[in-house]
Structure 1
Amino acid sequence: MKKVITFGTFDIFHVGHVNILERARALGDYLIVGISSDELNFSKKGRNPVYSIAERLKIISSLRFVDEVFVEESLELKAQYLRDFDADVLVMGDDWKGKFDIYKDICDVVYLERTPSISTTEIIEVVRQPRDN
C-alpha cells in the first residue's frame, strides 16, 4: 500500500483544499493529513485559526478521500511524522516548492499546483472588510 501524507492548517475550508487533497490521494492508496495545531498555526501565521483544531479534524476526516488525520504539533517534527506514518510520498502545495526537499531521503516529495485565486488568508480579509451599504 502506497501511503501519501500532507500537512496544512485547513482553516475556512474551501475548494482549493478539496483539490489538493483529492490530487494527493490520487498519488497513492492511503491519505494521511497532518493538521496544524492552534498553537502551531499562531506561530506560523501570527493569528489563531477561525476554526478550532477539533473542528478542523472533524471537517478533514469527513472527506471520503482522507483515510487518517492527526494533529501536527511542531514543524521540527516533520521528519518524525513521515517515519511514524511510514509515508511513501509527501505532498505539499507548490508555494512550498523546494522547502521540503530535505525529506527526499525518507520519502518522495511532490509539490502540487495550488488552485488559482483562492486562499484562506484572502477569504478572511474579504470577510473582515466593512461592507459599503
Structure 2
Amino acid sequence: MNSKCKKIVITFGTFDVFHLGHLRILSRARSMGDCLWVGVSSDALNMAKKGRAPIYSEEERLEILAGLKCVDGVFLEESLELKADYIKRYEANILVMGDDWKGKFDHYSDLCEVVYLSRTPSISTTEVIERIQTC
C-alpha cells in the first residue's frame, strides 16, 4: 500500500450507467479515509445478482471509476463470498456501503468498521435505465 494510505476505505458496487448518486457516495466514502478502493462487480457477478448483463462492460466501468479523483484504486469483484478476502487484501479500515444494504455486512465488523451511507434520493441506475427506455 501507498504510505499516504493510513486509513483505507473500501466499497463495492456495479456502478452501471454511472450517475450523480454514485459520485456522491464515492466522494463521501473517500472523505472518511486517506484512500478509497472500489470493487466493481464483474459482468458474471452482475448476471448472477441481477439477472441481466450490465449496460457497460466491466472494463468500461473499471476505467470510468479509475478516472475519478476521489478513487485511488479499482479492482474486479468476482464473488460476493470474497468480500472478506478483498477487505484483507486492500488492508481496509472501513467498509462503506449504501444504506439499502443496511445490516447485511455487519458480520465484517471484526475485520473493519462497517458504515452505511444514505443514498441520493430519487436517483438509481434502474430509474435511469427506465427513463431512457421511455424516451
Q: Return the TM-score normalized by structure 2.
A: 0.95
Tell me the residue number matched to 2:56: 51
* Matched ranges for 1:76-91 at <5 A: 76-91=81-96
Q: Percent identity?
A: 65
2:53, 2:133 → 1: CA distance? 15
2: CA distance, partners of 1:109 / 1:15: 23
SS in 1 for 2:110: coil
Distance 1:28 1:10 in 2: 21
Quote the Cα distance in structure 2 between the aligned partners of 1:42 and 1:126: 22
Q: Secondary structure at the match of 1:10?
A: coil
In structure 2, the residue matched to 1:35 is: 40
Are 1:116 and 2:121 matched, yes or no?
Answer: yes
Deviation at 1:128, TM superposition (A): 1.7
> Is structure 2 residue 87 aligned with structure 1 residue 97?
no
Match status 1:107 vs 2:105: no
Among residues 69, 76, 85, which one is paired with 2:74 in the alignment?
69
Q: Per-residue CA shift, 1:32-80, capped at 9, x if unaligned? A: 0000000001111110000000100010000001000000000000111
Q: Distance in 1 between matches of 2:100 and 2:72?
A: 25
| Residue pairs, 1:121-132, within 5 angstroms | 121-129=126-134, 131=135
> 2:82 is matched by which residue type in structure 1?
L
Q: Gaps (5+ residues) in structure 2?
A: 1-5
Structure 1: gaps (5+ residues): none
Structure 1 residue aligned with 2:31: 26
The alignment yields a C-alpha RMSD, in angstroms, of 0.6
User: What is the identity, as a one-letter code, of the residue corresponding to 1:98?
Assistant: G
How far apart are the structure 2 equivalents of 1:42 and 1:128?
20
Tell me the CA shift for residue 125 of structure 1: 1.5
Q: Deviations over 1:84-120 (max 9, x none)?
A: 1110000000000000000000000000000000100
Please list every run of at least 4 consecutive aligned residues from structure 1 whose deviation after the TM superposition is greater than 6 angstroms: none
TM value normalised by structure 1? 0.96
Q: How many residues align?
A: 130
